[in-house]
Structure formats: C-alpha cells, structure tokens
Structure 1
Amino acid sequence: MTTRAEAIDPIVRERLACPQDHGPLIDAGDELYNPRLHVAYRIDSDGIPVMLIDEARAVDDAEHERIVASQ
C-alpha cells in the first residue's frame, strides 16, 4: 500500500522543505517529518502536504527514533 508521502509527485517532493528551518524532510507515512526539529507535517486526504508551522505536530523522542530507524 502506498503512503500519502510516497504518492506525492517526485518533482513536487524534491522541492518540499521544512518551512521552519528550510531543510529536507523525511517521508513518514501520511506525514513529512523534520528530524532536526522533531515536527511532522500532515498530508491531507487529497495528497496535499500541509506545510504550515502552526499545524505542525510535535514528535516525542520515542516516535522520532521509530521514524528515523525506518529510513
């Protein structure tokens, strides 16, 4: 099964960056994840990443380790 992150057009995906530190993001299922700041950005049901700082979700240390280990 393809995740929402995997379904993003590759040309669009390569241009997406974290709006906070402008660094690269990791595909994390239905989210894009910034491992430097421990925040995740959801991808809506239409496959559109919601790259708004106010809508970023904080990720705890245990989830961070799980996401990074799966890469």
Structure 2
Amino acid sequence: MKPDDPLLKILACPLDKGPLHLLPARAGQQEALYNPRLHRRYPVVDGIPQLLPSSGEQVPDDEHEVLVKRMAP
C-alpha cells in the first residue's frame, strides 16, 4: 500500500471502527495498519490488509511510542 492510497481513507479498525494509520515496511518489520487508540497493529500481506479482529496484535506501551513516531508524516 502507498500512503496516498484512497483505500486508506475508508479502512477502519474492526474493533472500534476508527481510522487506521499505515506503517511502512522497515527492516525486519512488514507493512501494517495501526490503531493508536487501542494499541493494535494489523498486518498487510502482499498488499492486502488483514483486518479480522483475530489478525490484529496488541502492542505494548513502549512499542506504541515508537509506532506513533513512525506514523508522523
């Protein structure tokens, strides 16, 4: 996915229905969508967001701070 992909404007977290933020792939980390309100990360596999509640993973507070910095444009 690209940061300007129009799909990002309509994708929502399956739990709180709020917006998600794209986390670009980095060394050792795959591309993901992140919900900072619930501290949940959803993987993007081969360009396809995995947005089932069971696909998301809870992110610890210390990692949340790092991810919030990555979200900034």
TM-score range, shorter chain: 0.7 to 0.9
TM-score norm. by structure 2 comes to 0.79
- In terms of fraction of residues, the more helix-rich structure is 1
Give deviations 1:22-65, integer Å, cap 9, x for gaps.
Answer: 10111112000000101000000x20000000110110111100
Q: CA deviation at 1:11?
A: 2.0
CA distance in structure 2 between the aligned counterparts of 1:64 and 1:6, rounded to whole angstroms: 22
TM-score norm. by structure 1 comes to 0.81
CA distance in structure 1 between the aligned counterparts of 2:2 and 2:33, rounded to whole angstroms: 10
- Unpaired runs of at least 5, structure 1: none
- Unpaired runs of at least 5, structure 2: 25-30
Equivalent residue, structure 2, for 1:6: 2
Query: CA RMSD for the aligned pairs?
Result: 1.6
Equivalent residue, structure 1, for 2:28: none
CA distance in structure 2 between the aligned counterparts of 1:39 and 1:12, rounded to whole angstroms: 19
Number of aligned residue pairs: give it.
65
Equivalent residue, structure 2, for 1:38: 39
User: Which 4+ stretches in 1 moved above 3 angstroms?
Assistant: none
Match of 2:10 among 15, 27, 30: 15
